[in-house]
Amino acid sequence: MEFFHKRKTFRPKKKFEPGTLRYSLHKQAQASLNSGINLRDAVKVPPGENLNDWIAVHVVDFFNRINLIYGTVTDYCTEETCPTMSGGPKYEYRWADGAEYKKPTALPAKKYVSLLMDWTEAQINNEDIFPIKMDVPFPKVFLPTCKKILTRLFRVFVHVYIHHFERLVLIGAEAHINMCYKHFYYFVTEFELVGQKELEPLAEMTSKICKGYTYPKR
């Protein structure tokens, strides 16, 4: 993560308040990653901790990390180079938010990612979805919202890997982003937060860098 902090940030980081449970869980998760523990073990819920709190912490962390990752290529992701939010010729993502974009709309990748990050930030800052007080239970919409956030954030990985991989190699970011991707992949598959169909665009790469990966049956 230090590698990314030295480079351009796409937008300000979302932070946890010191002294809160989420802050403690965030620090615990970071300590596990920094200790060199197996990533498959690092994503498991610590004994005695609440699953929803664990998911909430990781959704925010992945939001921050993927912001940083996109920041490494944002100057090269323009309307001219990336007129659609795609992952090669086979996959195209259209934006819909039920407000300004009521129907799935084709947009340049940079616009799509900007809207996605604005939308995600609004969700994680909404205390009716992500409660911050211990005595406030998680609502029924929490898990479906997290699944939607993580599914959409995965599409940023797809676009960056497929359309900007040469840039990642050029700046020496390949190994760092691979680790972030593996952490994300192990987490979302551990808790079934992103569907197998959504994961298909990076299936070939995943099979090479993630141990124990099984290509989804069609």
Residue positions forming the annotated binding site for Zn(2+): 77, 82, 159, 164
Q: What share of the chain is helix, strand, coil (3-state, %, to 5)?
A: 55, 5, 40
Residue 125 neighbours by CB under 8 Å, 6+ apart: 14
Looking up tokens 């901790």, which residue turns up? 49
Q: For residue 93, give the H/E element and its range.
A: strand 92-93
Please give the helix or strand (H or E) that residue 86 lies within, else none.
strand 85-86
- Alpha-carbon dihedral of residues 76, 82, 84, 89, nearest 10 degrees? -120
Closest CA to 120 of 157, 67, 196: 67
- Within 114-182, strands assigned E span none
For the annotated binding site, the residues are: 77, 82, 159, 164
Burial class (CB in 10 A: 0-12, 13-18, 19+), 128: exposed
Handedness of CA 75, 61, 127, 21 (dihedral sign): negative
The token duo for 91 is 């996959």
